[in-house]
Amino acid sequence: MSRARYAPVQRGQVDLELVVPAFNEAARLPATLAELTSFLAGQRWRSRVVVVDNGSTDGTATIVSAQDWDAEVVVVGCSRPGKGAAVRRGIAGSGARFVGFVDADLSTPVSTLTRAVAELEGGAAAAIASRHAPGAELAHPQPVTRRLGGSVFRALARQLVPGVHDTQCGFKVFDRLAVQFALKRCHLSGFAFDVELLRQIRRVGGRIAEVPVVWTDDERSTFRPLRDGSAAFADLFRLYRADLIDTARTGAR
């Protein structure tokens, strides 16, 4: 058992680091960390959980630091808002062989890590949980508005990352060198961050392995369809626009 602590400038090397972006997650995070660290403690990998406190005002970092966990947990601060900014902050400081991120609600079973790590060991640059790949299931369907919006978003995202059924599931693990290289070419920080990241990995020839999962929707999700959905679609169109500009430049040469 160990207490969480603030991360040192240089984090020690491990096999796997998992970043948990957290904004006002004091209520949900303890249960998530208990389940996550309990699973990690029983695996063959040397592991660490990195909680990135994304400007919380509910004492998220204090609550995390005050409890004992079955595996190492460290806390990192991130003042820049947005899930993408928090994930980037956590991954950028990693020296692990594999590094990834999971949502604070842990809607994806933690056992997904077993298959994900096996895919990375087999040469994949990214192993991502998928709610829509063949074999996946939704234990509790999302509200109708989110399902409709999600269908349109997936159709648009597939044009940017062909062959990937689900860019948005919040459970992704990467080869550390591949994802850090891709992050240097990413600009988005909102909910479309995942699309840009996977697109950059694919652009340099990285293989993306989708892992079908049984996914449980959390009604306490901080995602708001009108506010966050509009911003996510706007970011998607920014990616489309950037592609058009790149194509025009390439054709002019």
What residue spans define the domains of the chain?
16-251
pLDDT digits (tens, 9 = 90+) for 133-178: 999 887 766 666 677 777 888 989 999 999 999 999 999 999 999 9
Is 3.90.550.10 the CATH classification of the domain at 16-251?
yes
Is this prediction's pTM over 0.75? yes
Continuous segment of H or E residues that includes residue 5: strand 5-6
pLDDT digits (tens, 9 = 90+) for 213-253: 988 866 555 555 445 567 888 888 888 787 766 655 555 44
Q: Can you tell me the distance from the alpha carbon of 136 to that of 214, in angstroms, rounded to the nearest whole number?
A: 6
**pLDDT band for position 188 (50/70/90)?**
confident
Q: Can you tell me the distance from the alpha carbon of 82 to that of 202, in angstroms, rounded to the nearest whole number?
A: 23
State the average pLDDT over residues 45-66: 94
